[in-house]
Amino acid sequence: MSTEFSNMNTDFSNMNTDFSNMNTDFSNMNTEELLKIRIKINDNIVSLKDKLKNINKLIKKTCKHQWVEYSTSGPYSERYYYCTICNCIN
Ligand SMILES: [Zn+2]
């Protein structure tokens, strides 16, 4: 697992570089450049969503959940339990 995390850190540092490069002024760019950046951003989003999925799985597994009852209001009120630490819903 520690190997996974060290790989992840490398990914994040690469990602930060990408984003800081992206902080340039888009208004002076031509369509071709903008299309390239759009692909880059979309790739980042896909990769981030994957990471988020993995992280949420790990959090759900490792969190010492503290469940609190929550019910929606109205005639068809439903009861949920959510964790005050990680906000996951049960
Ligand atoms: Zn939790």
Rounded to two decimals, the pTM is 0.57
Is pLDDT of 14 > 80? Answer: no
**Which long-range CB contacts under 8 A does 83-87 form with residues at least 24 apart?**
86/59, 86/60
Greater model confidence, 5 or 1: 5
Q: Say how many Å lie between the CA of residue 75 and the centre of ligand 1.
A: 29
pLDDT computed for residue 81 by the predictor: 94
Domain ranges of the chain: 2-63
Select from 11, 12, 30, 53 the least CA-distant residue to 38: 30
Q: Say how many Å lie between the CA of residue 12 and the centre of ligand 1.
A: 24
Collapsing DSSP to helix, strand or coil, 47 comes out as: helix
pLDDT computed for residue 75 by the predictor: 86
Q: Tell me the residues surrounding ligand 1 (ion) with CB < 5 Å.
A: 63, 65, 83, 85-86
Q: Say how many Å lie between the CA of residue 3 and the centre of ligand 1.
A: 24
- 33-89 pLDDT per residue, tens: 999 999 999 999 999 999 999 999 999 999 999 999 988 888 888 889 999 999 999
Q: Say how many Å lie between the CA of residue 49 and the centre of ligand 1.
A: 20
pLDDT computed for residue 90 by the predictor: 86
